[in-house]
Each structure stands twice: as structure tokens, then as C-alpha cells.
């Protein structure tokens, strides 16, 4: 499917799909440990990237197309999608004087212990579908999240049309969203939707390589029992880091998907050499499995000093990581996830792209 916003990109340049509607999601705060703190995921993140990429002849900035709800519904349950579409308008109590609504009561499986599954709607829908207090919903959050999906799908389409790499500046990010739960500052799973879209477009086996500092619990849940989509993640150890309840090495998939989930927790203050050793394990699984395309959940919260993690990667390390991913020799869709050191975020992304392009140029 070709959409009006999609451009044919010259082989010599790398497509970077923009996400203009991301500005509609502008959270002022998130709540951690009961404290309202300045939100990590600000509009300044994308602004910094666009500034760093401006004028680079190696990059072609590309507008996203429009793909509608069908690809979203291929991955997410109807109840979650409908809730997100109407969450702000239906929020209770009234929204006077606030720019975000947060869950304050959460559905827990033991809340109804012995009573069977929940079949009623109830007034606490936000706490039914959201699993944390980090993720508020604002008046244009749905529109921004849906546009972020369009950005991911446009990048995926470009790879189907022959681009070796397409980058999507997705915001809000997405890898914490499962079939019917959202959180972690994410609302729709951009990488998961893109992976399924590639499958529906004829790619027989897709790998999702998650390089965000935090475990992509949502992406793992989407594909945990499937053999056609591999999920491999390098992330902060759940003993220390969000989302705490997923991401251990013994989570390897279930049923037909047994062995198709790879979790590689990072040691504290991991540096480039050790990180690349772990990355080699993940990419080795991708190569051994005969996968035909890779979707990268590309987070830069592994940067030394990032407020949300304890890794110690440098801008130069991202160039090495980009080269390593390019070494797979597979069509690659790279989608922005986290990364909150705004002053270096654009340089870090460019370093990753530059490394990928360098390796690509050296391949026969």
C-alpha cells in the first residue's frame, strides 16, 4: 500500500520519517513514587533531532502517510483502542484546570480473586487499561499516538520498497504497550504494529531488536507465543529498573514461540564493549533464525547520564551499534523510543545512522 505522504528515497540517502503531530502530546508531568516530576518525554526531543539532521545530504526527511485504524487493530484489542480514542473526552471527574488525566485505581488480577474475569466496563477504565502512574492522557494524546503509528508504518513501507534503512521519529514511543495494556509513556506499540504490517506485507519472519534501556514488556507480550516474530531485548536489569516485572533471561517465549524471545539484562554502568558483546548475542539469534527484516526499537536512554537509566554509552558507541545492526544485512526499520538527554539526542541518533550507513557502504 502506498500512501500520499510516502516518497521514493534515493539510494544514497536515508529516509527519516518525521512525525509533525507529535506536538499534540505535550505532557507537563509524570508521577513517580507519588511525586509529580517534569515529564521525560517532551516535544523538545524531536526538535533536537531535527536540528541535528538539518541540512545533512545523507538524510531525506519524509512526511508520514495515513494508514487508519486497521493496522492498529491487528495488534491491539478493540477495547484498548476505543478507550484511548475517547479517554480524554470521557475522563471523570471533570478536567477543569488540568492538562493530563492519570489512573488512580488499577485493576489487579487478585482484586477479583475467586470471582472470575472482569466483564463489566466500570468507571475506572483508565486503571483497567493503564498499568502505571507515569502515563497521563491529554486532549490530543490519541491523535499524536495514531500519527506516531503512521510514522512507523511509513518507514516500514519504505523498506518493503527497497530502502535498506528507514528511520521513524516516533513520538510518543510505544514498546511498553501490549495487546490491551498501555504504560511507560507509551500508548500504541509502534514497533509491534510495524512488525505485524511487514508480516502482512509478505515478510515471512520479522525480528524486533529492542535497544531502549527499558524492557519492552508490551512488544514481548504481543509476540510471546509466536515463531514468526522474534523479540530480542537489551535492557536494564528488572531487579533494578522499570518495568520491574518482565525482562528476565528465563522469559523465552511460549508454545510455538518457545525460544523466540531473548532477554539480555544489562549490568550497571555498561560500556560500549560489553554492550556490543551482548548485542552480538541478539544479532546472532536473528541471523541463525533466518529472519528477513528487522524492526529496531531505538532508544538512547542508554546514554551515560540519562536520567532514566544507569548505562554508560557514548555518542561514539552508537556509531558502533549502528554498524553492528547494519551487519545483519537485512532491511531495517529503526523507530525512536526513549532517550532523554535532549542536548545530545540528535547527535546520538545521527551517530547511529552514520554507523549503519558506513557498514552498509562497505558491504558487497
Angle at 305 between CA 102 and CA 338, to 5 degrees: 45
Q: Which residue has cell 507519588?
A: 34
Nearest CA among 285, 252, 253, 282 for reference residue 266? 282
How many Cα atoms occupy the beta-carbon half-sphere of 182 within 13 Å? 30
Using H for helix, E for strand and C for coil, what is the string for 143-194? HHHHHHHHHHHHHHHHHHCCCCEEEECCCCCCCCCCCCCECCCCCCCHHHHH
Please tell me the distance from the alpha carbon of residue 184 to that of residue 175, in angstroms, as a whole number.
Answer: 8
Please tell me the distance from the alpha carbon of residue 321 to that of residue 167, in angstroms, as a whole number.
Answer: 15
Please tell me the distance from the alpha carbon of residue 272 to that of residue 284, in angstroms, as a whole number.
Answer: 18
Identify the burial level of 227 via C-beta atoms within 10 angstroms of its C-beta, where 0-12 means exposed, 13-18 middle and 19 or more buried: middle
Q: Which residues pair with 293 in a beta bridge?
A: 206
Nearest CA among 174, 159, 192, 181 for reference residue 292? 159
Q: Which residues pair with 332 in a beta bridge?
A: 165, 294
Q: Which residue has cell 504490517?
A: 197
Q: Which residue has cell 523466540?
A: 260
176 is catalytic: yes
Nearest CA among 101, 53, 324, 79 for reference residue 209? 324
Identify the burial level of 110 via C-beta atoms within 10 angstroms of its C-beta, where 0-12 means exposed, 13-18 middle and 19 or more buried: exposed
**Do the Cβ atoms of 88 and 139 come closer than 8 Å?**
yes
Task: Pick the catalytic residue from 25, 175, 176, 241.
Answer: 176
Residues assigned a catalytic role: 176
Amino acid at each position: 500500500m502506498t500512501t500520499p505522504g510516502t516518497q521514493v528515497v534515493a539510494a544514497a540517502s536515508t529516509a527519516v520519517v518525521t512525525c509533525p503531530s507529535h506536538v499534540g502530546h505535550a505532557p507537563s508531568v509524570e508521577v513517580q513514587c507519588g511525586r509529580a516530576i517534569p515529564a521525560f518525554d517532551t516535544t523538545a526531543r524531536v526538535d533536537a533531532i531535527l536540528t541535528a539532521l538539518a541540512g545533512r545530504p545523507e538524510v531525506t526527511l519524509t512526511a508520514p502517510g495515513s494508514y487508519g485504524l486497521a493496522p492498529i487493530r491487528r495488534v491491539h484489542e478493540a477495547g484498548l483502542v476505543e478507550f484511548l480514542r475517547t479517554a480524554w473526552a470521557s475522563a471523570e471527574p471533570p478536567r477543569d484546570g488540568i492538562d493530563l488525566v492519570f489512573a488512580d485505581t488499577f485493576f489487579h488480577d487478585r482484586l477479583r480473586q475467586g470471582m472470575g474475569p472482569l466483564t463489566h466496563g466500570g468507571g475506572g477504565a483508565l486503571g483497567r487499561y493503564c498499568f502505571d502512574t507515569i502515563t497521563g492522557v491529554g486532549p490530543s494524546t490519541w491523535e499524536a499516538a495514531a500519527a506516531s503509528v503512521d510514522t512507523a508504518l511509513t518507514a516500514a513501507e519504505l523498506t518493503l520498497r527497497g530502502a535498506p534503512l528507514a528511520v521513524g521519529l516516533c513520538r510518543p514511543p510505544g514498546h511498553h504497550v501490549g495487546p490491551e495494556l498501555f504504560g511507560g509513556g507509551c500508548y500504541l506499540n509502534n514497533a509491534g504494529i510495524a512488525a505485524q504490517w511487514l508480516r502482512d506485507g509478505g515478510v515471512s519472519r520479522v525480528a524486533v531488536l529492542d535497544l531502549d534501556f527499558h524492557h519492552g514488556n508490551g512488544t514481548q507480550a504481543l509476540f510471546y507465543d509466536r515463531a514468526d516474530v522474534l523479540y530480542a531485548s537489551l535492557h536494564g536489569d528488572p531487579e533494578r529498573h522499570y518495568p520491574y516485572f518482565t525482562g528476565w533471561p528465563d522469559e523465552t517465549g511460549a508454545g510455538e514461540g518457545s525460544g523466540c524471545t531473548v532477554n539480555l539484562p544489562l549490568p550497571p554502568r555498561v560500556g560500549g564493549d560489553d554492550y556490543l558483546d551482548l548485542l552480538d548475542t541478539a544479532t546472532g539469534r536473528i541471523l541463525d533464525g533466518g529472519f528477513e527484516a528487522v524492526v529496531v526499537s531505538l532508544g538512547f536512554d542508554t546514554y551515560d547520564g540519562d536520567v532514566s537509566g544507569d548505562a554508560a554509552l557514548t555518542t561514539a558507541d552508537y556509531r558502533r551499534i549502528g554498524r553492528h545492526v547494519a551487519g545483519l544485512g537485512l532491511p531495517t526499520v529503526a523507530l525512536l523510543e526513549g532517550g532523554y538527554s535532549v542536548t545530545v539526542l540528535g547527535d546520538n541518533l545521527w551517530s547511529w545512522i552514520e554507523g549503519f550507513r558506513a557498514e552498509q557502504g562497505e558491504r558487497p
